[in-house]
Amino acid sequence: MSYEPLWRPAPSTSLMPDERIPHCMSEYEMKRSTLWTVLVLHIPAGSTLSQVFYPVGDLPGGEVRSFAFDVTDSGVAIGYSLATNNEWEAYIWTPSSGMTGLGILPGTVFSQANAISADGRVVVGLSGEHAFRWTASGGMQLLSALPNGLDDAVARAVSHDGSVIVGDQDVPADLGGYEAFRWTESTGAVGLGVLNEIWHRSRATVISGDGAVVAGYDTGSGQAFRWTEDSGLVPLGGVGIDLPRPTGISFDGSVIVGNGAGPEAFRWTEESGYVSLGSYTANDVSDDGSVIVGNEFYDSRYWATIWTESAGWRRLDDILADDFGVALPGWQLNSIESISPNGQVIAGRALNPQGAFTGFVLFIPSPGAGLLLPSMCLVYSRRRRSS
């Protein structure tokens, strides 16, 4: 089913004053409709629609629950949703087509999508105990494993063009635990090594857009690492963060963000080393390294947050209310899990007015858009669920 807004002009269209008002359902129609909503914002004459909030919905067959974990510049998102038999299933979602399940690998009962390439063509994640790579033409396929690896493997991140995938895989007991890998079609999975040979436990969590830099953490040594073909696996330079774990990286690999114990968010560059960003959780960073997204825990709940050098951390609710005059009655925006490479689209998780967790995608305006948002209309669309 499509989740396209019922009122959305073409990007180049100028709006006359009487064209700015979308159809609003009556209270009776709203009560009869089901849960999923699209937020349509009023904009001034001569402007175009540049901000839309989409709950991504969920797959049929299970309870209402979904999470969004990565998003592209065009708003294509991935994550996982409860589906048949209340098992998790990976999905891909677009504003025009809604949510599509990606299935599971043979012999498994669940799947989870962790990342999508910038062009939206490749999705990676895990199904049961196996790493997978998905494309529209090939479907979900088992990712080749480390030669000395065991079954348990996870694909965690993918380069912008989809050609390089990183993750980690369990290794035999005599080696200690698990090892980070880097995969290409020509090489298959290649182990990246560890910082502590005794424990042999490394995980690759992020990869730069160009595919040249990998970052992750080594639990045996308690350090984060950065890998390139020239340097191999080396600890991130700097001190001050306890048990750092990278969660985001810029296109060229020069900026790495993540979290230490506490939690304590950090931003790392080779010049500055670790810079603490306070008691927040950092989940991702834009391609240029300037915008970080995540969450904070305060007053018995999680709040979605955005960090910039000029403003520091701000809650997404405050940004929408203070900068654009927009509120989402009944919604709790809990966390931003991903920001698109260009920094203009975010994806995360929220608690909807009915008390169920759902993923969301939010298109945000470019700086200086000058939007005036005096009012809004919640347009509800009927959604059939199968039992």
H or E, element range at 170: strand 165-170
Hey, what long-range contacts does 82-89 have (CB within 8 A, 24 or more apart)? 82/58, 83/58, 83/59, 84/59, 84/60, 85/61, 85/109, 86/62, 87/62, 88/112, 89/59
Rounded to an integer, the average pLDDT of 14-19 is 25
Digit-coded pLDDT (tens) for 162-206: 999 999 999 876 667 899 999 999 999 999 999 998 889 999 999
CA distance 71 to 97: 15
Residue (of 196, 311, 212) closest to 254 by Cα position: 212
Instruction: Yes or no: say if 372 and 15 are a contact pair by the CB < 8 Å rule.
Output: no
Residue 11 lies in a domain: no
Residue 54 lies in a domain: yes
Range in 75-84, 253-262, 318-327, 374-383 with the lowest mean pLDDT: 374-383
Domain coverage including residue 170: 28-367
Digit-coded pLDDT (tens) for 59-89: 999 899 999 999 999 999 999 999 988 999 9
Instruction: Yes or no: say if 29 and 380 are a contact pair by the CB < 8 Å rule.
Output: yes
Q: What is the CATH number of the domain that holds 46?
A: 2.130.10.10
- Res 34: pLDDT: 28
Residue 377 lies in a domain: no
Residue (of 215, 349, 227) closest to 293 by Cα position: 349
Residue 20 lies in a domain: no
Counting the structural domains of the chain, the total is: 1
- Res 150: pLDDT: 58
H or E, element range at 69: strand 66-71
Q: What percent of the chain has pLDDT over 90?
A: 70
Mean pLDDT of the chain: 82
- Res 23: pLDDT: 30
Residue (of 119, 122, 172) closest to 143 by Cα position: 122
Residue 18 lies in a domain: no
- Res 173: pLDDT: 62
Top pLDDT among 30 and 6 is at 30
CA distance 149 to 156: 17
Residue 3 lies in a domain: no
Digit-coded pLDDT (tens) for 119-146: 999 999 999 999 999 999 999 999 987 7
Residue 179 lies in a domain: yes
Tokens, residue 370: 């000058």
Asked if pLDDT for residue 383 goes beyond 70, the answer is no
Residue 333 lies in a domain: yes
